[in-house]
Amino acid sequence: MARFRYVLIASALLAVLAGLGAGSYKWYKAWQEEQFLSTPPETPGREVLFRVEPGQIFTTIAANLKNEGVITDTRRFYGLAVRSGKGSAVRAGVFKLSTGWLPERVLTELTSSPGVLRRVSVREGLTWWQTGGIIEEAGLGDADGFAAAVADRSLLTAHGIQAPNAEGYLFPETYLLTPPKAHPARHMAEVMIREFFKNARKVWPEGLPSPEEVHRTVILASLVEKETGDETERSRIAGVFHNRLKKRMLIQCDPTVIYGLGPSFDGNLKKSDLQNRDNPYNTYVHPGLPPGPICSPGLDSLMAAAHPEKHAFLYFVAKGDGSHHFSQTLEEHNRAVRQYQLRRNRSTYRSSKQ
């Protein structure tokens, strides 16, 4: 009987100890969880630039965060993400994090911040090589990589561009983006091409015309872009080119000749340049539009080229205040040239409005 009582007491003690052990374990695990959530990995913290690749799974992201010292426990970080409903909300990009942050702040940054964005502004009227230089300066890819991208046949075909390169389709805009680790220049070219077609749908809201018509419009728009910075004149200038083409007159557009001379052009357009038949972009000797766009036109110039003003003007000349004088006859045009060009005040003359 005594022995039975001893066994009973021992069993009860063991049960109590087991209960205390289980409670202690639960308390310890809760304490660990609290420490994870309320204690940063390092104090003071240090800045970490952290990259999330497209399509990267959360467990890999968490492991990389731990390797960088941004979190201390991958399993608990995953649990936090699941409880917060953010397990699949991490964005691709580069993020500026800190080892002094709590896990919840790290998770919020990865799921709601756009990351570290680079800004680049590409204005209207630039050639592809000028754009490449700006891309390189902004740290969004190297100029050589951009040059290769704009002539990449697979990229052009994917967007229906029937031309040797993407000149004219690199839409001028201010871009904010995080460059990918691989091939950033190609990514930038593709972003700009996509932006072009996004805006082209504003020009043709009922649907894009054939690639040939789009390309012809882009060529004309690039000439309009280079000939005037005055948006009120663009449709009228497009109308002049339209009238000259209809009458099979030479376009005689200086910027096309300059484009054909390439990046080495020194700013001095000579008479021999205007007579050079070897330059395929020389619209003083070759009829019709040049073989391709000569810059990236903006939306206003695209609109003007697609919807030229209907009038009888065949000539225009810069007046020196940023605007142009338009003429219907050669005689009137020659008088305007004498008035605004040959007798111009070089100290006050300007080609664009202030």
| Parent domain of 106 | 40-115
CA dist., res. 47 & res. 42, Å (int): 11
**Cα(59)–Cα(189) distance, rounded to whole angstroms?**
32
214: pLDDT strictly greater than 60: yes
Average pLDDT over residues 164-191: 93
Which range is most confident: 29-33, 42-46, 163-167, 317-321? 163-167
Residue 65 confidence (pLDDT) = 95
Do 243 and 296 lie in one domain? The reply is yes
Over residues 82-135, the pLDDT tens digits come to 998 887 888 888 899 999 999 999 999 999 888 888 889 999 999 999 999 999
Residues 74 and 146 in one domain: no
145 in any annotated domain: yes
- Domain total for the chain? 3
Considering the domain boundaries, does residue 257 fall inside one? Answer: yes
Q: Is residue 323 part of a domain?
A: yes
CATH number at 79 reads 3.30.1490.480
Indicate the residue type of 137: E
- Looking at residue 36, its pLDDT comes to 84
pLDDT given at position 353: 42
Cβ of 322: how many Cβ atoms within 10 Å?
A: 15
List, in order, residues 6 or more apart from 100 with CB less than 8 Å away. Answer: 40, 41, 42, 43, 44, 45, 46
**pLDDT at position 53:** 86
Alpha-carbon distance of 346 to 333, in angstroms, equals 20
Specify whether 107 is located in the same domain as 122: no
For residues 174 and 276, state if they share a domain: no
Helix (H, G, I), strand (E, B) or coil at 104: helix
**CA distances to 218, 232, 269, 306 from 316, in Å:** 21, 14, 19, 20
What mean pLDDT is reported for the chain?
88
Q: Which residues pair with 36 in a beta bridge?
A: none
Query: Per residue in 1-51, pLDDT tens?
Result: 555 556 555 555 555 545 555 556 676 667 677 888 888 999 888 999 899
Instruction: Tell whether the model's pLDDT for residue 354 goes beyond 50.
Output: no
* Same domain, residue pair 196 and 294: no
pLDDT recorded at residue 14: 53
Report the pLDDT value the prediction gives residue 72, as an integer from 0 to 100.
93
Query: Which DSSP helix (H) or strand (E) runs through 48?
Result: strand 47-52
Please state, in angstroms and rounded to a whole number, the distance separating the CA atoms of residues 164 and 342.
39
Question: Which residue type does 296 have?
Answer: S
Read off the amino acid at residue 77: F
With 0.75 as the threshold, say if the pTM is over it: yes
Q: What percent of the chain has pLDDT over 90?
A: 68
Phi, psi of 126 (to 5 degrees): -90, 150
Say whether pLDDT at 272 is over 60.
Answer: yes
Residue in 38, 46, 97 with CA at minimum distance from that of residue 73? 38
Beta-bridge partners for 215 = none
Give per-residue pLDDT as tens, 126-140: 999 999 999 999 989
**Is 4 inside a domain boundary?**
no
